[in-house]
Amino acid sequence: MKNVRVRFAPSPTGIPHIGNIRTALFAWIFAKKNNGKFILRIEDTDQNRYDANSELAIIESLKWLGLEWDEGPETGGNYGPYRQSERKSIYIKVAEKLIESGKAYYDDTTPEQLKELRESQREKKLPPRYDGRGRYRTKEEIKNSRDMGLPITVRLKVPDTGKISFIDTIRGKIEVDAREIDDFVILKSDNMPTYHLAHVVDDHLMRISHVIRAEEWISSTPRHILIHQALNYNLPEYIHVPLILGSDKSKLSKRHGATSVLDYKKQGFINDALFNFLSLLGWSPGDDKEILSKNEIISEFQLNKINSSSAIFDLNKLEWMNGVYIRGYTNEKIINEVIPILESEEESIGLAKTIKRPLDKRYLSKIIPLIKERIRTLNEVTELIDFFYEENIKNTAENIILKKMNSKDSIKILNKSIDIFNTTKSFNSETLETNFRNLVQVEEIKPGQLFTSLRYALSGKKIAPPLFETMEVLGKDKCVERVSAAITLLT
């Protein structure tokens, strides 16, 4: 496809929802697939709701997922500015042009009059809609109202008859009666454009070929078509992507887990995994393959394979996928990802304050292979490996005592374990395992009896990395020290 130009046009009014970012991701993939351009346009005409943090969060989310844009506010480009608040004069000129050509008009109906109109329609059980009274206002009347300081808007003159139709790539032809649409506002009384006007003008001037956006805009699209027609603009292709629902099929909300991309980042998810996961929300390459690299996704992606039905957000699947990605990473890469987590504040997700930072990378590189296969998110690492760093391991006698054995016999076996630590020359996992299995046999006990006790003694945990590898990494002195401390709990 030639000259593909797609845009992501967020309104920075809140924390970007995962659904918004998934829409951006589809647009980005489509641009990459067609050697096209991906444009970021900030739709900030609603200055009352503008939130600078929201804009920062949008930008950080896009960057984290690798959805870099070719044109945008700071990046620049041939069709800027890319921030709608800096394009006000363009919209005003377009609105004036529409008035001159008789396609739009000034309206001085006051908010009170509009309220009265709505109330009378409600009484008559009619749908609330503007009745087009402004079409008949003369220039003088508008001037008088303006002089009196009354609010003046600009409304599009919507045809009274006929049909408005457009093709949605995913859903096919969509058609509505012009009668159902009232003369809607395109320029507000503060001279700010409505979303309807601003985005149509921008999509045209920025040469957008495909409008990829959320399904919620389908019902407004006929209005957008009307604006395009009134301005003699060519229509872009429309692709309305499905909603994302929670596992119970209700709107995705906090109770289904995080709803913002950055929260997933904070929770220890990996950007490549989230990219893969989001790409499959509402799209599939047509087979059962789920682990797909960015390049595979780009090469397989087709707009018409996007589903028209809602996508279900399955957190378990995301966790599984994240685990797969972690296992696919080199140890070096995992280490680089987990160091900032481990070194962060204890109150958030870091290791205890008492543990010296910066952490020794070499030591960590011995630990990571032991847990790599077990984790689903990077944040799980701290809890799994903190005992490698801590000085004192918290334990209870109940955990240390060998099952089905009394304290005295348990102490005896644990002392023999210390002997093994002291006498094992090559202190590596294989030799240690051989020696401990030998002890189990000689003492005629079950492996589980001893190994559970030792696992608690060394790590303080029921679930910990493989025992003998753990011993090797901890080293002789720490093993002796920890088992000795455990014995004191039994005496």
Site residues (vs ligand GLU, CB under 6 A): 9-11, 43, 199, 213, 217
Q: Tell me how far, at minimum, the Cβ of 166 lies from ligand GLU, in Å.
A: 14
Q: Tell me how far, at minimum, the Cβ of 210 lies from ligand GLU, in Å.
A: 11
Q: Is 139 a catalytic residue?
A: no
Contact 487, 414 (CB under 8 A): yes
User: Which DSSP state fits 373?
Assistant: T
Assign 66 to helix, strand or coil. Answer: coil
| Structure token pair of residue 260 | 């913002």
- Dihedral pair phi/psi, residue 366, rounded to 5°: -85, -30
213 or 228, CB closer to ligand GLU?
A: 213
Q: Which residues of 221-239 are buried (b: 16+ CB within 10 A; e: fewer)?
A: bbbbbbbbebbeeebbbbb
Q: Tell me how far, at minimum, the Cβ of 483 lies from ligand GLU, in Å.
A: 60
Q: Tell me how far, at minimum, the Cβ of 11 lies from ligand GLU, in Å.
A: 4
Amino acid at 373: E
241 or 326, CB closer to ligand GLU?
A: 241
Q: Given the DSSP bridges, would you call strands 104-107 and 153-156 parallel, antiparallel or unpaired?
A: antiparallel
11 or 276, CB closer to ligand GLU?
A: 11
Q: What is the DSSP string of 436-482?
A: HHHHHHHHT--HHHHHHHHHHHHHS-SS-S-HHHHHHHHHHHHHHHH
208 or 335, CB closer to ligand GLU?
A: 208
**Closest to 460 (Cα-Cα) out of 386, 372, 410, 406:** 386
Contact 270, 337 (CB under 8 A): yes
| Structure token pair of residue 372 | 């790599």
Q: Tell me how far, at minimum, the Cβ of 264 lies from ligand GLU, in Å.
A: 20
User: Which DSSP state fits 85?
Assistant: G
20 or 322, CB closer to ligand GLU?
A: 20
H-helix or E-strand containing 173?
strand 172-177
9 or 94, CB closer to ligand GLU?
A: 9
- Classify burial at 190, counting beta carbons within 10 Å of its beta carbon; exposed 0-12, middle 13-18, buried 19 or more: exposed
* Catalytic, out of 254, 333, 353, 403: 254
Tell me the C-alpha distance between 270 and 190, whole Å. 44
Q: Diameter of the chain by CA atoms?
A: 108
Amino acid at 160: D
Give just the sign of the alpha carbon dihedral 470, 474, 480, 484.
negative
- Dihedral pair phi/psi, residue 161, rounded to 5°: -130, 175
16 or 460, CB closer to ligand GLU?
A: 16
48 or 161, CB closer to ligand GLU?
A: 48
Residue at shortest CB range from ligand GLU: 213
| Structure token pair of residue 99 | 């008035």
62 or 351, CB closer to ligand GLU?
A: 62
**Closest to 157 (Cα-Cα) out of 207, 87, 81, 103:** 103
Contact 490, 401 (CB under 8 A): yes
Assign 68 to helix, strand or coil. Answer: coil
- Dihedral pair phi/psi, residue 266, rounded to 5°: -60, -30
Tell me the C-alpha distance between 470 and 474, whole Å. 6
Residues belonging to the active site: 254
